[in-house]
Amino acid sequence: MKQIGVTGGIGSGKSTICGIFRLLGAPVYEADAEAKKLQDENQDIKKGLINLFGSFIYFENGKLDRKKLAGLIFSDKSLLKEVNELVHPVVHAHYEHWLTVNGRAPYIIYEAAILFESGFYKDMDEIILVTAPEETRIARVVSRDKLTYEQVKSRIQNQWPEQEKRKLADYIIENNNSNLVIPQVVELDKRFKNNGKIR
Ligand SMILES: CC(C)(COP(=O)(O)OP(=O)(O)OC[C@H]1O[C@@H](n2cnc3c(N)ncnc32)[C@H](O)[C@@H]1O)[C@@H](O)C(=O)NCCC(=O)NCCS
Ligand SMILES: Nc1ncnc2c1ncn2[C@@H]1O[C@H](COP(=O)(O)OP(=O)(O)OP(=O)(O)O)[C@@H](O)[C@H]1O
């Protein structure tokens, strides 16, 4: 079983691409979505975040105030690092467990926005980078999440520049508004199912 990492900057289209892999039968682990669930449920993360910020970072119903956390960490690199160091080991342990259940498929997809930044790319057999021009990505996220241009920019400033990611990627999916993405994903799916060969 191959572990395929899918990454890309904010708004590049990772989730959209992973949705196509899922339709083709691949198990997909969504690290960012799982991180959000674990921030609400895992007691070690909850205690750690309350220690760092105070109990106001959680709502009374026990859910994390993500908007508040985002406002604090994306403008402060050292706080972001502390939060990452708290959350990432728990997500990785959760993923290892998920693999024991889903690892019988020919390949699995591990989707994460900060696969390179976290260092977890080293555990992957191959890496797909999803790309789109920065202005396109910002426009997509502003429209999807109702964030401001500046809020999206501050997240981009905490992610590796595209040219650094390109150097470490095995495959690149161009998800601009002119390339068709489904054929690019279908070709990669064939390759991964056939052990690297295109038939
Ligand atoms: C800080 C949080 C609560 C803000 O929530 P919010 O709903 O506003 O944003 P959302 O989760 O939809 O993230 C949108 C995008 O922001 C960017 N982003 C998120 N976390 C990070 C981060 N730690 N570093 C850099 N960029 C990030 C990504 O491009 C992501 O796809 C949330 O982003 C979060 O939980 N981040 C941690 C995710 C994580 O650690 N993932 C990796 C697991 S190994
Ligand atoms: N080729 C495309 N053309 C037009 N819109 C697109 C395209 N690809 C993705 N989108 C839209 O852009 C937005 C961002 O895509 P998606 O959520 O897949 O990105 P992501 O990389 O997972 O984002 P994030 O890092 O913020 O989680 C979504 O609203 C999606 O529907």
How far is the CA of 153 from the CAs of 12, 66, 148, in angstroms? 14, 17, 9
Q: How many CB atoms lie within 10 A of CB 198?
A: 8
* Nearest protein CA to atom 31 of ligand 2, as residue: 16
Mean pLDDT of 64-93: 96
| Substitution site in 7, 10, 15 for ligand 2 pocket (most atoms within 8 Å of beta carbon) | 15
Domain boundaries, the chain: 2-39+95-192
CB 141 less than 6 A from any atom of ligand 2: yes
Question: What proportion of the chain, given as a percentage, has pLDDT over 90?
Answer: 93
Write the pLDDT tens digit of every residue in 16-31: 999 999 999 999 999 9
Expressed in angstroms and rounded, the spacing between residue 109 Cα and the centre of ligand 1 is 18
Q: What is the homologous superfamily of the domain 2-39+95-192 according to CATH?
A: P-loop containing nucleotide triphosphate hydrolases (3.40.50.300)
Q: How many CB atoms lie within 10 A of CB 50?
A: 13
Q: How confident is the model at residue 198 (pLDDT cuts 50, 70, 90)?
A: low
- 7: amino acid identity, one letter: T
How far apart (Å, rounded) are the C-alpha atoms in residues 168 and 171?
9
Q: What is the DSSP letter of 22?
A: H
Bind-site residues for ATP: 11-16
Give CA 88 to chain center in angstroms: 12
Residue 50's pLDDT is 98
Q: Is the pLDDT of residue 199 over 80?
A: no
Contacts of 182 (CB under 8 A, 6+ apart): 20
Q: Is the pLDDT of residue 150 over 70?
A: yes
- Cα dihedral sign for 190, 195, 197, 199? negative
* Nearest protein CA to atom 6 of ligand 2, as residue: 13
For the chain, the first-to-last Cα distance in angstroms comes to 19
CB 15 less than 6 A from any atom of ligand 1: no
* Nearest protein CA to atom 11 of ligand 2, as residue: 140
As for the ipTM of the complex, it is 0.92
Question: What proportion of the chain, given as a percentage, has pLDDT over 70?
Answer: 98
Residue 195's pLDDT is 77
How far apart (Å, rounded) are the C-alpha atoms in residues 107 and 195?
9
Q: Is the pLDDT of residue 197 over 60?
A: no
Write the pLDDT tens digit of every residue in 153-167: 999 999 999 999 999
Mean pLDDT of 47-69: 97
Residue 179's pLDDT is 83
